[in-house]
Amino acid sequence: MSSHVTLGFHASLDVPAYAKGLVGSSVTLEPSWTVRQLASAVERFCATKGVGVRITALVNPVRGAAAVPHEQATSHFHAGDRALVVGDFQQGAWPSAQDAFKPREPGSLVPITIFTGFLGAGKTTVLNHLLLHQREKKFAVIENEFGAVPIDNELLANSALGMAEQVIVMENGCMCCTVRGDLLGAFDAIRKQMETGSPLDGVIIETTGMADPVPIVRTLRTTPDIARYFKLDGTITLVDTKTILNRLSECAGGKEDQERHRQISFADKILLNKLDLVDQEQVAEVWHRIRSYNATAPVVGTVKGIVDSSELTNIGAFDTESIVLETEVHGHGGGHGHGGHGDCGDDDCQEDHG
């Protein structure tokens, strides 16, 4: 039997006038829904009122924490509870990742997502879930073997990944490939595997903890043998909700610390992992801090790296003009996007851009 929750917005948000009338609205809660599905229902409800709400986290103030997105909503919200939104507003609805996803047509270019993030943020966990547990999409994951932890070390330790650019095909149709030489070899191996009858929805390149994505973008866009079969789709950065504030406070530490800012400002989408390890106030504080570096990239909350596979592709961030700019200029202005970021890009800068 369905129940209802009462819609509200976290006290830290600057709620625009056109959205204030939504406060106190009743939103249906179905007993089978996850928290992520409840969040989608809230977004749809707001859209019917002409307000775009893009939710990073739902908070039950009685519990004082963000609800775990993949868990049952009824384990976090009871009938009549308030569900406080941490997220973005705009006039008019945002398209959801599920609505934006379109199956890749045969013969079309395979989209590439660059997946970066700080060491310890949980990239390996996200990729293991993608390779082993989801069944909705088929991805090839290109793993940088110099990363701190290989993908599912126990699973792959005795596999054929000991051979250069060898592709491992998982039971769910996903693939995993370790980069030992340049990216071209990995993409060639994936292309050959696809030609044997293994279709893909996308390719994900996992980078090391402090890897700057710009050189990877340059390689992908200036290598004809890659561009003939694949296209760059966007960059996703994974953030550890518990440790990110301390890491971002270290900007004056030099080039390596500024790289932490650049990974956020460059991102086309940000996954906010480990929401369950902090209270609601820190979730909101982290969200605001991220927004100070990147004003527009969707921020998707997650726990234990469990994220809907549709969030990892169909980003559509790279157009022709932005690629020309990025492959020629290693620097990012103010705001977001390819062509404007919150970090100045100057390795010698000692100013906190947050």
For the stretch 158-197, pLDDT in tens is: 333 333 345 665 555 556 666 555 677 788 888 888 888 8
Greatest mean pLDDT among 257-261, 312-316, 327-331: 312-316
Model pLDDT, residue 198: 78
Is a pLDDT exceeding 60 seen at residue 3? yes
Mean pLDDT of 319-340: 42
Q: Which stretch of 204-208, 269-273, 286-290, 322-326 has the lowest confidence by average pLDDT?
A: 322-326
Q: Name the band, by pLDDT with cuts 50, 70 and 90, for residue 82.
A: very high
Task: Name the residue among 321, 299, 112 with its Cα closest to residue 201.
Answer: 112
Percent of the chain with pLDDT over 90: 40
Report which of 235, 302, 307 is spatially closest to residue 268, judged by C-alpha positions.
Answer: 235
pLDDT recorded at residue 130: 79
How crowded is residue 245: how many other Cβ atoms within 10 Å of its Cβ? 14
Query: Higher pLDDT residue, 45 or 227?
Result: 45
For residues 241 and 149, the model is more confident at 241
Rounded CA gap, 166 and 186, in Å?
Answer: 8
Which candidate, 15, 27, 10, 86, places its Cα nearest to that of 55?
86
pLDDT score for 189: 83
pTM of the model: 0.81
Worst-scoring range by mean pLDDT, 75-79, 304-308, 323-327? 323-327
Confidence at residue 83, expressed as pLDDT on a 0 to 100 scale = 98
> How far, rounded to the nearest angstrom, does the alpha carbon of residue 285 sit from its chain's CA centroid?
18
Place of tokens 């989408």: 269
The confidence score (pLDDT) of residue 180 equals 52
Least confident of 147-151, 245-249, 345-349: 345-349
Model confidence band, residue 35 (pLDDT cutoffs 50, 70, 90): very high
Contact 10, 85 (CB under 8 A): yes
Task: Indicate the average pLDDT of the chain.
Answer: 78
Two tokens, residue 263: 């990974």
- pLDDT at 332 > cutoff 50: no
Using DSSP, state whether 275 is helix, strand or coil: helix
Mean pLDDT of 121-133: 82
Q: What is the pLDDT of residue 339?
A: 38
Range picked from 81-85, 225-229, 242-246 for highest mean pLDDT: 81-85
- Cα 17 to Cα 6, 20, 22, 119: the distances in Å are 19, 5, 10, 40
Of residues 7, 230, 38, 208, the one with CA closest to residue 123: 208
**Average pLDDT of the segment spanning 2-14:** 97
pLDDT at 144: 62
Mean pLDDT of 131-143: 79
**Contact by Cβ (8 Å): 220, 110:** no
pLDDT of residue 168: 61
Residue 325 class from Cβ within 10 Å (0-12 exposed, 13-18 middle, 19+ buried)? middle
Average pLDDT over residues 18-45: 97
Q: To 10 degrees, what angle do helices 213-221 and 320-328 make?
A: 120
**pLDDT tens by residue, 21-33:** 999 999 999 999 9
**What pLDDT, in 10s, does the model give residues 185-240?**
788 888 888 888 878 888 888 876 555 667 777 778 788 888 899 988 999 999 99
Q: Tokens 């694949």 label which residue?
A: 230
